[in-house]
Structure 1
Amino acid sequence: MKLDFTTLSPLDAYRWLASTVTPRPIAWVSSRSADGIDNLAPFSFFQVISDKPPTLMVNVGDRDDGSLKDTLLNARETGELVIQLVNAAQAEAMNASAALLPRNVSEFERCGIVAQPAERVAALRVTGAPVAFECKVADIQPYPRQTPNCHLIFAEVVLAHLDDSVLDARGRIDPQRLDLLGRLGGQSYTRTRDTFEMVRPR
């Protein structure tokens, strides 16, 4: 089978990419508007892109009507985000926060998601998230530049919170305890507990 991506519709291209480039980590992004409204939304076009400086990238697509999502608007207004990783126990809450809500409605309040203050940024962080990265927005780039349909947020990590319960005896991350969700195609997800090790050759 061959797929000519130059002839595919955007929807078909998305479906093929999203179902093959898997599993994808989920960024559960909390932000606060200039008016003080807290927002929370999941994104699976997400990755770490640099360790010097420590930087994460989140792709925030436009809404179907072409309008900009609250996460992007808040990142522009305040220059701050908290990016949480999602474990299996938080799957339902994460999914609930994906609902399309008016800009003046907080997903924390509407979905009953418990939050607590961050330390270096104004945005809230999700209580119980196994990992939460407090970030300053380093850059926001529209893509593609000529006719953008999404924006890439480059978020520099300034502080991370790691739940002690996901650490092993050496104080390092135990993937079994972390038990993160990964995004597959369609409505499918996976968990990170099925692991194995290989030693990279020198």
Structure 2
Amino acid sequence: MPEYDSAELEPNERGRIIKSAVTPRPIAWISTTSTDGVDNLAPFSSYNYVSSAEPVVIFNTPYAEGDEQKDTPRNVLETEEFAVNVVTEPLAQTMDTTAASLEADESEFDYAEVDRAECETIEPPRVADAVVTMECTLYDSMRVRDRLAILGDVEYFHVDESVMTDGQIDAAKVDTVGRLGGPYYTVSDLIEFERQF
């Protein structure tokens, strides 16, 4: 079995291994609104939750200063609001389209023809066709080496009736899309095994 000392690998080599090993990675399709009123929408596959009873989600992005910073983190840090839209299989192609590099005054909602819906507690819109959306306010942010980690307090949930069973969200009905290493995505699919403990 090949073995590698992380310190002896190039950054892209380390990145390829970790991005291929830590999979499937959930995708946060994050909507924000700039201080100039431009709606932004972008996918982030370095995303998870860090607290559930008092829900806090986390995503990270390359760290950059000033104008080099991506629109999403800049908008979150300036407005302290964002929405996480869950990506399911019917939305995968559209989600990928919103990863395009646009100017700050252009909206990915318009570019990819994504329908907006209003949020209840924050200004940014949500993806109308997302089966789950979480409205968030900024909890904290921190630099971790070459990345900027952003944490959000989940203030409000939107859950579509189509993914509910007996009044609760049903994981078997949420066909989430995950990111694999390289250019690949995957769709969640149940296996014939149930957790015992």
TM-score normalised to the size of structure 2?
Answer: 0.94
Query: Post-superposition shift, 1:142?
Result: 1.3
Query: Post-superposition shift, 1:90?
Result: 0.1
Q: How do residues 44-193 of structure 1 correspond to structure 2 at under 5 angstroms?
A: 44-62=45-63, 67-144=68-145, 149-168=146-165, 170-193=166-189
Q: How far apart are the structure 2 equivalents of 1:133 and 1:120? A: 10
Cα offsets for 1:28-69 (capped at 9, x unmatched): 000011110110000011011012431000011247xx9211
Letter in 2 for 1:153: I
Q: How far apart are the structure 2 equivalents of 1:163 and 1:184? A: 26
User: Structure 1: where are the runs of 5+ without partners?
Assistant: none
Fraction of identical pairs, as percent: 36
Give the SS at the match of 1:136.
Answer: strand
Letter in 1 for 2:30: V
Letter in 2 for 1:193: D
Equivalent residue number for residue 23 of structure 2: 22
Query: Post-superposition shift, 1:194?
Result: 2.5
User: Structure 2: where are the runs of 5+ without partners?
Assistant: none
Query: Post-superposition shift, 1:173?
Result: 2.4
Q: 2:190 aligns with which of 194, 198, 202?
A: 194
**4+ runs deviating over 4 angstroms:** none
Cα offsets for 1:64-111 (capped at 9, x unmatched): xx9211001000110000001100000011000001111110000111
Give the SS at the match of 1:151.
Answer: strand
How many correspondences in the alignment? 193
Cα offsets for 1:108-161 (capped at 9, x unmatched): 0111011111110001100110110000001111122xxxx2210000000010
Does the C-alpha gap of structure 1 residues 175 and 51 become closer, same or farther in structure 2, counting only changes over 3 Å? closer
Equivalent residue number for residue 13 of structure 2: 12
Q: How far apart are the structure 2 equivalents of 1:142 and 1:24? A: 21
Q: Please, what is the CA RMSD of the aligned residues? A: 1.4
Q: How far apart are the structure 1 equivalents of 2:11 and 2:168? A: 41
Q: How far apart are the structure 1 equivalents of 2:162 and 2:125? A: 21
Letter in 2 for 1:152: A
Query: Post-superposition shift, 1:175?
Result: 2.5
Query: Post-superposition shift, 1:26?
Result: 0.4
